[in-house]
């Protein structure tokens, strides 16, 4: 591995890290927007005369969940690309005579598919899906039991 190759690998790693970080920050913004809007709708509905609006909050939960999951899946792809580069860097550190290189370096990613969405429901990622599930379940229960302040 010559010095130029090493510099390219480090630069690519830096770019992937930046993209993964950006995706993570966007995901958190989506999450906080979801909780703020949903809480507002729940508070408004509780003081209104029709519990149907609780369902709007449920639908928004699903929408924001899908949106955040898209960002998380894109972030995952950049993390995987980063790991590939880390292997190259490790080979360089280890004085490997023939370092491993990724097939290619690029910022293009696959469109998030259904299978990767299902993988997000892994128990290890409970902190990702549990808040959405709790909020979704809560709004459904509030609608089901017709919970209103003037009832």
- For binding to other proteins (CB under 8 A), which residues are involved? 76, 83, 87, 90-91, 93-97, 100, 119, 122, 124
Closest to other proteins by CB, 125 or 144: 125
Closest to other proteins by CB, 5 or 100: 100
Least CB distance to other proteins at residue 96 (A): 6
Least CB distance to other proteins at residue 64 (A): 23
Q: d(Cα 5, Cα 49) in Å, to the nearest integer?
A: 67
Q: d(Cα 20, Cα 87) in Å, to the nearest integer?
A: 17
Q: d(Cα 41, Cα 109) in Å, to the nearest integer?
A: 36
Closest to other proteins by CB, 35 or 101: 101
Least CB distance to other proteins at residue 46 (A): 39
Question: Hey, how many other C-beta atoms are within 10 angstroms of the C-beta on 82?
Answer: 17
Are the C-beta atoms of residues 122 and 73 closer than 8 Å to each other?
no
Least CB distance to other proteins at residue 140 (A): 29
Q: d(Cα 128, Cα 131) in Å, to the nearest integer?
A: 7
Closest to other proteins by CB, 7 or 96: 96
């Amino acid at each position: 591995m010559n010095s130029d190759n090493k510099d390219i690998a480090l630069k690519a790693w830096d770019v992937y890290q930046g993209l993964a970080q950006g995706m993570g920050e966007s995901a958190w913004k989506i999450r906080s927007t979801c909780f703020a809007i949903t809480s507002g709708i729940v508070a408004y509905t509780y003081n209104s005369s029709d519990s149907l609006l609780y369902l709007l909050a449920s639908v928004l939960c699903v929408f924001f969940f899908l949106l955040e999951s898209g960002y998380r899946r894109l972030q995952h792809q950049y993390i995987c690309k980063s790991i590939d580069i880390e292997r190259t860097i490790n080979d360089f550190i280890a004085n490997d005579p023939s370092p491993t290189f990724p097939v290619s370096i690029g910022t293009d990613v696959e469109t998030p598919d259904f299978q990767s969405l299902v993988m997000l429901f892994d128990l290890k990622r409970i902190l990702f899906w549990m808040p959405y599930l709790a909020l979704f379940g809560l709004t459904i229960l509030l609608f089901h039991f017709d919970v209103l302040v003037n009832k």
